Chain A
Amino acid sequence: EDKVVQSPLSLVVHEGDTVTLNCSYEVTNFRSLLWYKQEKKAPTFLFMLTSSGIEKKSGRLSSILDKKELSSILNITATQTGDSAIYLCAGTYSGGGADGLTFGKGTHLIIQP
């Protein structure tokens, strides 16, 4: 059974700190790994990672995939209170012509002023 595990489940840090969120996956016919940020409702897309070792960056957020270790990390530097959210990672797979996503349970990140 496909599985995506995120750690830590929750994290409280102070504004300005740097955080690293972890995601490990066991996904048959793995295609890519996606990161989402969920604040109040809909998860919003952050990154899609398909190649190992290539960092994707967007402002203070960056992410990288390690296919050998079946894992990914999401880094947030100089955190701000607006970064408080649940961060979800999902493994995508392909099989039988259909793609689906298997989500982890998320990391609940709280940034204290």
Chain B
Amino acid sequence: DSGVTQTPKHLITATGQRVTLRCSPRSGDLSVYWYQQSLDQGLQFLIQYYNGEERAKGNILERFSAQQFPDLHSELNLSSLELGDSALYFCASSVDHGQGVRNTIYFGEGSWLTVV
């Protein structure tokens, strides 16, 4: 158990719909990362938040958005869903955003999203 909690574990929804994935980082971790994992693309970095602020953006679509709340939990919002958005979405956390400090990140169990 990494200490990173994600909900829901599984989600099935229709194309065009909107879903929200939730993540609680490990206690004390200020950075939250979101990743998308599909069979053909591997693990793709989407976005990172540090202490409530967006710090880095990866391959995140405009239909997707995220935020980190004052209690440090984070949500990833996926809208206008398409079949190709079906994937495993991971949240990960680390204690800092890495300036001058070693940065190991720990992953949650993931949220399986199936778009039908």
Contact = CB atoms under 8 A, between A and B. Distances in A.
Contacts of B2: 42, 44
A80 interface: no
A104 B42 CA distance: 7
A48 B104 contact: yes
B35 to A, nearest CB: 8
Contacts of A98: 48, 50, 55-56, 97-98
Given A42-B2, A42-B107, A44-B107, A97 B102 contact: no
Interface in A84-107: 88, 90, 92, 94, 96-106
B25 interface: no
A48 B42 contact: no
Contact of A42 (B45, B50, B108): B108
Give chain A's interface residue range (CB within 8 Å of chain B): 20 to 34
A87 to B, nearest CB: 12
Contacts of B107: 36, 42-44
B56 A100 contact: yes
Give chain B's interface residue range (CB within 8 Å of chain A): 20 to 34
Given A42-B2, A92-B103, A97 B55 contact: yes
Nearest to B56: A98
A41 B45 CA distance: 17
Given A32-B103, A98-B48, A103-B43, A41 B110 contact: yes
A31 interface: yes
A34 interface: yes
A24 to B, nearest CB: 15
B113 interface: no
Interface string B23-56: 0000000010101000001111100101000011
